Homo-oligomer: A and B are copies of this chain.
Amino acid sequence: MDAHMDVFSRMESNVRSYCRHFPALFASAQGPWLTAVDGRRYLDLLSAAGSLNYGHNDPPIMDRVLNYLGAGGMVQSLDLHTAAKAEFLETFGEKILAPRRLSYKVQFTGPTGTNAVEAALKLARKVTRRPGIAAFTGGFHGMSLGALAATCNPAARAGAGVPLGHVTFLPYQGYLGPTVDSLDYIEGVLSREGSGFPRPAAVLIELVQGEGGLSAVTADWIRRLARFCKEQEILLIVDDIQAGCGRTGQFFSFEQLGIVPDIVLLSKSLSGFGAPFSIVLMDPKLDVWQPGEHNGTFRGNNLAFVGATAAIATYWSDATFSRGIQGRADLVRERLWKIANGLPPGAAQVKGRGLLVGLEFKEPSLAESISRLLFDRGVIIETCGSHQQVLKLLPPLNIGTQDLQFALDAIADAVSEVAGPRLALAS
């Protein structure tokens, strides 16, 4: 370990984690490629946990950011009015909301996903005067106490050090097995007085569970849930922090499913270049906030506003980009099916939607082994799921076909090399 690396073990807290799986010292990055200080290059299928949907340092976005800085643009502005923020709001309204006939108001929260979750839960509780939130098995919403209370992961919850309350967990679609529709249960307990489940303020859901193993809802299921929420005057909050910003093929993950959430959370790729940025979108009639009732110093990150405006202008002015994502998604899915079909029946299955996809292995340790082998070969790809049993692909949405093929070939080889012998032995 050279001098540079040594500083991390010496000075950085043990809490660091990704660097343990991918122990290079990175310097620069372009598109899907990372370059380490030793000159080695890595193909990045992690995209900073989905916060770089347009790849690293995407030129149309970075040009705008650099121009803004060069012109002495205001960088940090709390929630003062700035030209950069006005332009973001106008662009977001025109290119994202209007074409989808959405009329949300925008809250700029502290620039982390968990802070957007905290704000949304506060708002839902304020609007409905009900304290409870219903969240889902497998869901992940963040690490501050309010969001953590809605996150299932037992190790994360144990880290709270205090009991987490006011959230009830509901079984996600498929959680109770293929023969039971978990909505039968959900409707049964949430709609009847005296069930011990007081009517919650809101249902908080990811339409594809990014950390929870890439489980995804179907249109029928989520529509029935949305209808039920409407009837019961329960707010529907879609956490689109990982699945939004184009990740599933459209800007929002709910577009293809025929629902309109009351509240939507965006973060991660919103700024277009990985700058911290989070917003809460809310039905205007829910905007009952008092001024300053939820705040945070960094809610006025103008570089993020500029980047987000550039990203939207570049990629979301028409349907071209969306079609491109779908094309890549089809390619990936097909190939993953092929890989899975090359294994013994039941050994692996394809999970997810759009470019938030992966391979779930029956034998959980396989995913981690494959990820490790791929890193040695210059491909960065993480695992997810309650037992890290899912190999998870988060390529840039604008990744070139050649790079994508390279990645898929590498995955196919690694799966075959790692899983082949182990599964053969087992059978």
Chain B residues closer than 8 Å to A267, beta-carbon distance: 297
For the complex, is A225 an interface residue (Cβ under 8 Å from B)?
Answer: no
For the complex, is A337 an interface residue (Cβ under 8 Å from B)?
Answer: no
Interface residues of A in 129-161 (CB under 8 A from B): 131, 135-139, 142-147, 149, 152-157, 159-161
Chain B residues closer than 8 Å to A157, beta-carbon distance: 198
- Contact indicator A48/B78 (Cβ below 8 Å): yes
Interface residues of A in 283-342 (CB under 8 A from B): 287-298, 300-301, 303
For the complex, is A223 an interface residue (Cβ under 8 Å from B)?
Answer: no
- Contact indicator A75/B49 (Cβ below 8 Å): no
For the complex, is A365 an interface residue (Cβ under 8 Å from B)?
Answer: no
Copies in the complex: 4
Beyond A4-B86, A76-B52, A275-B301, whether A293 also contacts B81 by CB under 8 A is: no
- Contact indicator B282/A161 (Cβ below 8 Å): no
How large, as a class, is the contact surface on chain A?
35 or more
The CA of A105 and the CA of B18, in the complex, are separated in Å by 18
In the assembled complex, how far is the CB of residue A335 from the closest CB belonging to chain B, in whole angstroms?
26
User: A49-90 toward B: CB 8 Å interface, digit per residue (1/0)?
Assistant: 111100011000010011001111111111111110110011
Beyond A14-B289, A15-B289, whether A131 also contacts B78 by CB under 8 A is: no
- Contact indicator B149/A145 (Cβ below 8 Å): yes
For the complex, is A347 an interface residue (Cβ under 8 Å from B)?
Answer: no
The CA of A167 and the CA of B162, in the complex, are separated in Å by 11
* Identity of the chain B residue whose Cβ is nearest the Cβ of A8 in the assembled complex: B81
Chain B residues closer than 8 Å to A194, beta-carbon distance: 137-138, 152-154, 386
Beyond A75-B274, A146-B144, whether A12 also contacts B176 by CB under 8 A is: no
